[in-house]
Every structure is written in C-alpha cells, then in structure tokens.
Homo-oligomer: A and B are copies of this chain.
Amino acid sequence: MNVSVTIKDVAKKANVAPSTVSRVISDSPRISEKTKRKVRKVMDELGYHLNYNGRVLVSQSTQTIGIVTKVSSDHFFENPFFSELLRGISDACHERDYSMYLTTGNTEEAIFQEVVKMVQGKRVDGVLVLYSREDDRVVPFLRESSFPFVVLGKPVDRPGETMYVDNDNVQASKEVTRYLIELGHERIGYVGGNSQFEVARDRLEGYRAAMKDHSLPIDEEWLKNVPAEKQDPDQVAEQLLGLEKKPTALIFTDEYNALTVMRSLSRRGASIPEQISIAAFNNTVVSRLADPPLTTVDTQAIQLGHESASSLIDLLKRPDMVKKSMIIPTRIIERDSSRRLEPESRVEI
C-alpha cells in the first residue's frame, strides 16, 4: 500500500496504453466491452485507485467548494444554526459528489487571506460565503476575480449581479411582529444583532414596517440592536423592566440572546410568557429545548445550506447560467414563550 499503483502500472499489466486505462475509468463508449473488462480486472488485481491530484491538475477542477464563515470570535461556529447550515451544505455536496473546504480565522484579515489563497491557488472551484456584511472584502474580491461564488444572505450591494440564497428577512420579521400584534400585543420590543450584517438590518426593517402598518408607536427604548458580544443580558432586562411603558412582548434575532435575557427577566420577576411574550429567529434545537420552548421563526437552516451549496454547484457546472437567486420560505413555529394578551390582563407588572 505504500507505493501506489498508477494508471501506467495498470496499462502495462493489461497490455494497453495509459490512455486506454483512462478511458476505461471514465467509461468511455469508445472502448470495447472486452477491453474494459480486461482493464478493470487488472485494476482490481493491482488494487488501483484513481489519484485525485493528477486529475485535478489536468482537468483544472477540484470538485471542491470553499466555505467562508464569519470570524470565529462571532461565535458563529458554536451556534447550532451554523451546524445545521453545514449539515445542509454537506448533504448537497455529497449528493453532487463535491467536497467541502472549510475556512475559518480569528480575524477578518486572516479569513480574507485564506480566501485569496484558495482562489488564486485554485484549491476550490467556487466559494460559498455564509454571511453578508458591510465593509466585507471577500465578496468584492471574488467579484473582481470573476470567481464563481454564492452568498448565503442578501448581498449588501448589487444583489442583481450576485447569486444568493436567503430568507425574506424583512417579510419574516414583519410576520412575526404581526403574529404578536394579533395576539394582542401593542408594546413590542426588538433585540437585534450587529447591524453591520444585512440580516440584522432587514429584520429591524420588517419589525418597523409591521408596527407602522398597525399604527403602533415604537418607543426607541424598546430597541436593543447591538452586537451579541456587547450585550449584557442583565442590563437589557433591567433597562426594559425599568421603563415606564414596558414592552409586553420581545422579538430576538438570536436564540441565545433570547435565552439569556429571558433568564434575567424571570429572575427579576417577569415570568415568560405571563408577563412578557418572547419570539425569536432560527428555530434550532436551542428553541425547542428552552424552558418554556420558544416561539420562533423557522429559517430552515438545513435547506438554506442545501440550496446555497446546490446553487453554487449548478453555477460551476454551467458558468453561463443566469444568476438566479433563491428565497427560502420561513414559517412561524408557535410554542409556549408567547401568549395571547387578553384585554383584562393588561395590567402593569
């Protein structure tokens, strides 16, 4: 096993040319069945296996896609949402016989350099960018290099020229807000994420739009749109409970934030959902196992991952294809963290 069997060894033993063996491997119709059988027998005998690197060099294609994540410090990695995405991506890759090449780094610069290396070094055929952010260098670089790529999330600029897969976050956010409004809530707060990311902006927009549609005023004190790492859940809880006009419902773009803030709220005597209803985005296992289980917007992470990888592979196979984008539907999963606000129960807490 140490010394490997090459196509030439097979050719020699089978008394054919290397090119014939190559054609047998690709099952070319130009080779007679008899020769195919003979060559295959020898391949078995010698324990031949195709050397992938030789093929890559000549075919100029690695059958591998590069996956670019946010910086590790965003804790994207530790989030089950990421895992589910990866699961979807992985499934799609395996279905189409592609491989995944994972990129990570602790700084944006490190990630960018990784991307440059994998693109210039021809390590991958295409790139899947798992975020969409302002001031990002990766997407512009890929665009400029005319390297095939797909963005998971709505591109910050030129969405028409870019292939992407995303939820309709504005719409989804509108819907979950409306859902709470229909449950009788009027004072609805919103705890978002880093507004550098397109997804955060879209969801905030959807929330605002829904409130406006129902002519409900928004108290800016109800909005906490800050990066997760800067958010002290206790502080958020305290601030919200200290308000004269306390919100009766809260929307979180991040399940983890929802849980930590929920805990702080409960400790301060605001029980969920009795005093405050909660809804969050991303329906991962976290929401299911929370106590009480969270009402969430299912963003269908596995499908998002699957479609994005699948679209990228389509693009690789037919580079001239029209840059179609894809919107994955969302739906609200009702659980116990939000409840109907009966008129009589609208007492101050």
Contact = CB atoms under 8 A, between A and B. Distances in A.
Given A56-B53, A90-B102, A78 B80 contact: yes
Closest 3 A/B residue pairs (Cβ): A49-B120, A52-B121, A90-B104
B72 A90 contact: yes
A35 interface: no
A90 B50 CA distance: 28
Interface in A111-164: 114, 120-123, 144-147
Contacts of A77: 83-84, 86-87, 90
A289 B291 contact: no
A99 interface: yes
Contacts of A94: 104-105, 110, 114
A49 B121 contact: yes
Given A78-B284, A82-B83, A121-B50, A102 B105 contact: no
Given A78-B87, A259-B289, 8 more contacts: A1-B144, A53-B56, A53-B122, A53-B123, A79-B83, A99-B101, A99-B102, A259-B291
Contact of A53 (B62, B83, B146): B62
Contacts of A260: 289
Interface of A: 1-2, 4, 49-54, 56-57, 62, 72, 77-80, 82-84, 86-87, 90-91, 94, 99-102, 104-106, 110, 114, 120-123, 144-147, 256, 259-260, 262-263, 266, 284-286, 289-291
Contacts of A1: 144-147
Most central of A91, A104, A260 by chain B CB within 10 Å: A104
Contacts of A53: 53, 56-57, 62, 121-123
Nearest to A86: B77
B83 A122 contact: no
A284 B77 CA distance: 12
A146 B2 contact: yes
A79 B81 CA distance: 10
A123 B121 CA distance: 16
A272 to B, nearest CB: 10
18 contacts: A1-B146, A2-B146, A49-B121, A50-B120, A53-B62, A56-B56, A77-B83, A80-B80, A83-B83, A87-B104, A90-B102, A91-B104, A94-B110, A100-B101, A100-B102, A256-B289, A262-B291, A266-B291
Interface core residue of A1, A106, A145 (most chain B CB under 10 Å): A1
A98 B86 CA distance: 20
A286 B284 contact: no
